[in-house]
Amino acid sequence: MHRDIDISSLIEAATGVRGLAYAPYSRFFVGAALLTTAGRIYRGCNVENISFGLTLCAERAAVVAAVADGFQTFQAIAIVAETDVPISPCGACRQVLAEFAPDLLVISANLKGRTETFSLADLLPRAQSGILNNP
């Protein structure tokens, strides 16, 4: 299923939108590119807030952009930040991504070109079990 995904284009899209991030407090700029099952790419960047708690991560921004444009099925997300080890999505973003795509391919990359791939199911096991009586 993941064979045909153009991982480098997705990383390139995430790297590009990272430059638009609004992160004056952390100075940690993140870009995300979400690939729909229809082959479209939606981008998101982190948007911080002076209240800190209202900060929106890049991954969730990408989900919101896709859903608002009529797309709710996804096959992969690329996430890019300037880290030594490729960035790992936060727990909140894992849960929001799992709402739509529990087996999503997660591609993490840093600016040096180091990448790692995961299945969201490994990053967040049992994401839906036990909630509202789901088995």
Residues that bind ligand THU (CB under 6 A): 23, 26, 28, 30, 46, 48, 55, 57-59, 79, 87, 89-90, 93
Taking the least distance from each CB to ligand THU, the nearer of 3 and 52 is: 52
Taking the least distance from each CB to ligand THU, the nearer of 3 and 27 is: 27
Query: How many CA atoms are closer than 13 Å to the CA of 64, on its beta-carbon side?
Result: 11
Among 81, 84, 103, 82, CA closest to 94:
103
Taking the least distance from each CB to ligand THU, the nearer of 53 and 130 is: 53
In whole angstroms, the minimum distance from the beta carbon of 47 to ligand THU comes to: 8
Taking the least distance from each CB to ligand THU, the nearer of 55 and 115 is: 55
CB of 94 closer than 8 Å to CB of 127 = yes
In whole angstroms, the minimum distance from the beta carbon of 57 to ligand THU comes to: 3
| 12 belongs to the catalytic site | no
In whole angstroms, the minimum distance from the beta carbon of 25 to ligand THU comes to: 7
Catalytic residue among 12, 59, 82, 116: 59
Contacts 24+ apart (CB under 8 A), 41-45: 41/9, 41/10, 41/13, 42/66, 42/69, 42/71, 43/13, 43/14, 43/16, 43/17, 44/17, 45/17, 45/18, 45/20, 45/21
In whole angstroms, the minimum distance from the beta carbon of 43 to ligand THU comes to: 12
β-sheet bridge partners, residue 119 = 105
Positions marked active-site: 59
